[in-house]
A = this chain, B = another copy of it.
Amino acid sequence: MPTSRLEAFSDGVFAIAITILIFDIKAPTNTQHLLPALLALWPSYLGYVLSFLLIGLLWVNHHVMFEHIIKADRLLMFVNTVLLLVVAFVPFATSVLAATFRNGDGENIAVALYGVTLTAAGLLFNAIWSHADRGGLFDDGVTAHGIRRMTKRILFGPAMYAIGAVIGFFLPVVGVVVYALLILFYWLPIPQRDRNGVRIGSR
Protein backbone atom coordinates (compact mmCIF):
# COMPACT_ATOMS: atom_id res chain seq x y z
CA MET A 1 0.00 0.00 0.00
CA PRO A 2 1.45 3.40 -0.92
CA THR A 3 1.82 5.93 1.90
CA SER A 4 0.14 8.98 0.33
CA ARG A 5 -3.27 8.63 1.99
CA LEU A 6 -1.56 7.62 5.25
CA GLU A 7 0.40 10.88 5.11
CA ALA A 8 -2.72 12.93 4.31
CA PHE A 9 -4.60 11.36 7.23
CA SER A 10 -1.64 11.90 9.59
CA ASP A 11 -1.28 15.51 8.41
CA GLY A 12 -4.93 16.01 9.31
CA VAL A 13 -4.45 14.69 12.85
CA PHE A 14 -1.28 16.77 13.35
CA ALA A 15 -3.04 19.92 12.04
CA ILE A 16 -6.06 19.41 14.30
CA ALA A 17 -4.01 18.52 17.40
CA ILE A 18 -1.83 21.62 16.93
CA THR A 19 -4.78 23.98 16.37
CA ILE A 20 -6.93 22.78 19.27
CA LEU A 21 -4.13 23.74 21.66
CA ILE A 22 -5.77 27.19 21.61
CA PHE A 23 -8.87 25.81 23.35
CA ASP A 24 -6.92 25.67 26.59
CA ILE A 25 -6.63 29.48 26.58
CA LYS A 26 -10.06 30.71 27.59
CA ALA A 27 -11.12 34.36 27.27
CA PRO A 28 -11.74 35.80 30.77
CA THR A 29 -15.51 36.09 31.40
CA ASN A 30 -15.03 39.14 33.62
CA THR A 31 -13.33 41.77 31.46
CA GLN A 32 -13.32 44.64 33.96
CA HIS A 33 -9.65 44.18 34.79
CA LEU A 34 -8.76 42.62 31.49
CA LEU A 35 -5.01 43.21 31.40
CA PRO A 36 -4.22 41.45 34.71
CA ALA A 37 -6.73 38.72 33.83
CA LEU A 38 -4.94 38.15 30.50
CA LEU A 39 -1.50 38.23 32.13
CA ALA A 40 -2.58 35.65 34.73
CA LEU A 41 -2.99 33.20 31.86
CA TRP A 42 0.80 33.14 31.25
CA PRO A 43 1.16 29.40 31.94
CA SER A 44 -1.41 28.74 29.22
CA TYR A 45 0.46 30.93 26.71
CA LEU A 46 3.69 29.18 27.61
CA GLY A 47 2.11 25.74 27.21
CA TYR A 48 0.58 26.86 23.92
CA VAL A 49 3.88 28.03 22.45
CA LEU A 50 5.82 25.01 23.77
CA SER A 51 3.34 22.43 22.50
CA PHE A 52 2.76 24.22 19.20
CA LEU A 53 6.48 24.10 18.44
CA LEU A 54 6.59 20.51 19.70
CA ILE A 55 3.74 19.20 17.53
CA GLY A 56 5.13 21.20 14.60
CA LEU A 57 8.42 19.40 15.16
CA LEU A 58 6.80 15.98 15.39
CA TRP A 59 5.05 16.78 12.12
CA VAL A 60 8.37 17.69 10.47
CA ASN A 61 9.91 14.44 11.75
CA HIS A 62 6.96 12.47 10.42
CA HIS A 63 7.32 14.23 7.10
CA VAL A 64 11.06 13.52 6.86
CA MET A 65 10.58 9.88 7.84
CA PHE A 66 7.86 9.28 5.28
CA GLU A 67 9.97 10.76 2.53
CA HIS A 68 12.02 7.58 2.91
CA ILE A 69 9.27 5.08 3.75
CA ILE A 70 7.34 4.48 0.55
CA LYS A 71 5.29 1.40 1.40
CA ALA A 72 2.98 0.76 4.35
CA ASP A 73 1.96 -2.61 5.73
CA ARG A 74 -0.71 -3.30 8.35
CA LEU A 75 1.70 -3.14 11.29
CA LEU A 76 3.16 0.17 10.14
CA MET A 77 -0.35 1.61 9.93
CA PHE A 78 -1.05 0.32 13.44
CA VAL A 79 2.10 1.85 14.94
CA ASN A 80 1.42 5.09 13.07
CA THR A 81 -2.11 5.16 14.56
CA VAL A 82 -0.64 4.71 18.06
CA LEU A 83 1.77 7.59 17.33
CA LEU A 84 -1.17 9.79 16.29
CA LEU A 85 -2.94 8.74 19.51
CA VAL A 86 0.02 10.16 21.45
CA VAL A 87 0.13 13.31 19.30
CA ALA A 88 -3.59 13.95 19.95
CA PHE A 89 -2.87 13.40 23.67
CA VAL A 90 -0.42 16.36 23.75
CA PRO A 91 -3.20 19.01 24.10
CA PHE A 92 -4.44 17.19 27.23
CA ALA A 93 -0.93 16.95 28.73
CA THR A 94 -0.47 20.67 27.93
CA SER A 95 -3.76 21.54 29.58
CA VAL A 96 -2.76 19.68 32.77
CA LEU A 97 0.66 21.38 32.71
CA ALA A 98 -0.81 24.88 32.38
CA ALA A 99 -3.43 24.19 35.07
CA THR A 100 -0.80 23.19 37.63
CA PHE A 101 1.33 26.26 36.99
CA ARG A 102 -1.74 28.52 37.19
CA ASN A 103 -2.79 26.83 40.47
CA GLY A 104 0.73 26.52 41.90
CA ASP A 105 -0.03 22.85 42.73
CA GLY A 106 0.96 19.51 41.23
CA GLU A 107 3.57 20.86 38.78
CA ASN A 108 5.92 17.91 39.31
CA ILE A 109 3.33 15.33 38.24
CA ALA A 110 2.25 17.46 35.28
CA VAL A 111 5.81 18.04 34.04
CA ALA A 112 6.53 14.31 34.31
CA LEU A 113 3.31 13.44 32.44
CA TYR A 114 4.29 15.85 29.68
CA GLY A 115 7.75 14.31 29.44
CA VAL A 116 6.35 10.78 29.38
CA THR A 117 4.07 11.81 26.50
CA LEU A 118 7.06 13.16 24.58
CA THR A 119 9.10 10.07 25.32
CA ALA A 120 6.30 7.84 24.06
CA ALA A 121 6.10 9.84 20.82
CA GLY A 122 9.86 9.48 20.36
CA LEU A 123 9.78 5.72 20.99
CA LEU A 124 6.97 5.31 18.47
CA PHE A 125 9.01 7.14 15.83
CA ASN A 126 11.74 4.61 16.57
CA ALA A 127 9.28 1.74 16.26
CA ILE A 128 8.11 3.02 12.86
CA TRP A 129 11.65 3.49 11.62
CA SER A 130 12.98 0.11 12.76
CA HIS A 131 9.89 -1.71 11.45
CA ALA A 132 10.30 0.01 8.08
CA ASP A 133 13.95 -1.09 8.14
CA ARG A 134 13.15 -4.75 8.89
CA GLY A 135 10.17 -4.82 6.53
CA GLY A 136 11.97 -3.36 3.51
CA LEU A 137 9.56 -0.44 3.25
CA PHE A 138 12.23 2.10 2.31
CA ASP A 139 12.84 4.00 -0.86
CA ASP A 140 15.72 2.51 -2.88
CA GLY A 141 17.81 5.65 -2.44
CA VAL A 142 18.27 5.04 1.30
CA THR A 143 21.64 3.57 2.34
CA ALA A 144 22.45 1.42 5.37
CA HIS A 145 24.63 4.23 6.73
CA GLY A 146 21.79 6.72 6.31
CA ILE A 147 19.39 4.42 8.18
CA ARG A 148 21.81 3.96 11.10
CA ARG A 149 22.35 7.67 11.30
CA MET A 150 18.61 8.41 11.47
CA THR A 151 18.24 5.60 14.05
CA LYS A 152 20.86 7.20 16.28
CA ARG A 153 19.31 10.63 15.84
CA ILE A 154 15.78 9.53 16.73
CA LEU A 155 16.93 7.42 19.71
CA PHE A 156 18.54 10.53 21.18
CA GLY A 157 15.15 12.32 21.39
CA PRO A 158 13.20 9.97 23.69
CA ALA A 159 16.28 9.46 25.88
CA MET A 160 16.56 13.21 26.44
CA TYR A 161 12.81 13.67 27.00
CA ALA A 162 12.88 10.83 29.56
CA ILE A 163 15.75 12.56 31.39
CA GLY A 164 13.71 15.79 31.27
CA ALA A 165 10.72 13.94 32.76
CA VAL A 166 12.81 12.64 35.67
CA ILE A 167 14.40 16.03 36.34
CA GLY A 168 10.99 17.69 36.01
CA PHE A 169 9.49 15.41 38.62
CA PHE A 170 11.89 16.91 41.19
CA LEU A 171 12.41 20.38 39.71
CA PRO A 172 9.37 21.19 37.57
CA VAL A 173 10.66 24.52 36.23
CA VAL A 174 13.95 22.96 35.18
CA GLY A 175 12.02 20.18 33.43
CA VAL A 176 10.08 22.71 31.37
CA VAL A 177 13.32 24.52 30.48
CA VAL A 178 14.84 21.19 29.37
CA TYR A 179 11.84 20.48 27.10
CA ALA A 180 12.01 24.00 25.64
CA LEU A 181 15.73 23.67 24.92
CA LEU A 182 15.26 20.24 23.32
CA ILE A 183 12.47 21.53 21.10
CA LEU A 184 14.51 24.54 20.02
CA PHE A 185 17.59 22.36 19.48
CA TYR A 186 15.65 20.06 17.16
CA TRP A 187 14.21 23.00 15.24
CA LEU A 188 17.65 24.50 14.59
CA PRO A 189 19.09 23.76 11.14
CA ILE A 190 21.93 21.25 11.44
CA PRO A 191 25.05 22.44 9.61
CA GLN A 192 26.41 18.99 8.67
CA ARG A 193 25.41 17.87 5.20
CA ASP A 194 24.30 14.30 4.81
CA ARG A 195 25.72 12.37 1.88
CA ASN A 196 23.98 9.08 2.71
CA GLY A 197 20.54 9.26 1.25
CA VAL A 198 18.78 10.21 4.47
CA ARG A 199 18.11 13.89 4.90
CA ILE A 200 18.33 14.46 8.63
CA GLY A 201 18.15 18.18 9.17
CA SER A 202 18.70 21.15 6.92
CA ARG A 203 17.12 21.16 3.49
Residues of chain A touching chain B, judged by Cβ–Cβ distance below 8 Å, are 1, 5, 7-9, 11-35, 38, 48-49, 52-53, 56, 59-60, 63, 67, 71-75, 77-78, 81, 84-85, 88-89, 91-92, 95-96, 98-100, 103, 105-106, 109-110, 113, 187-190, 199, 201-203
- Grouping DSSP codes into helix (H, G, I), strand (E, B) and loop, the A interface class, with mixed when no group exceeds half, is helix
Decide: A19 and B88 in contact? CB cutoff 8 A: yes
Q: A35-B106, A74-B190 are in contact. List 17 more A-B contacts (CB 8 A).
A: A1-B67, A5-B11, A12-B15, A16-B19, A17-B22, A20-B20, A20-B22, A24-B27, A27-B92, A27-B98, A31-B100, A31-B103, A31-B106, A35-B109, A38-B96, A53-B81, A56-B77
The listed residue (B14, B34, B190) touching A9 by CB distance below 8 A is B14
Decide: B22 and A19 in contact? CB cutoff 8 A: no
Decide: A8 and B9 in contact? CB cutoff 8 A: no
The listed residue (B16, B18, B74, B89) touching A189 by CB distance below 8 A is B74
Decide: B22 and A84 in contact? CB cutoff 8 A: no
Q: What B residues does A52 contact at CB under 8 A?
A: 81, 84-85, 88
Q: What B residues does A13 contact at CB under 8 A?
A: 15, 18-19
The CA-CA distance from A35 to B116 in the complex, in Å, is: 14
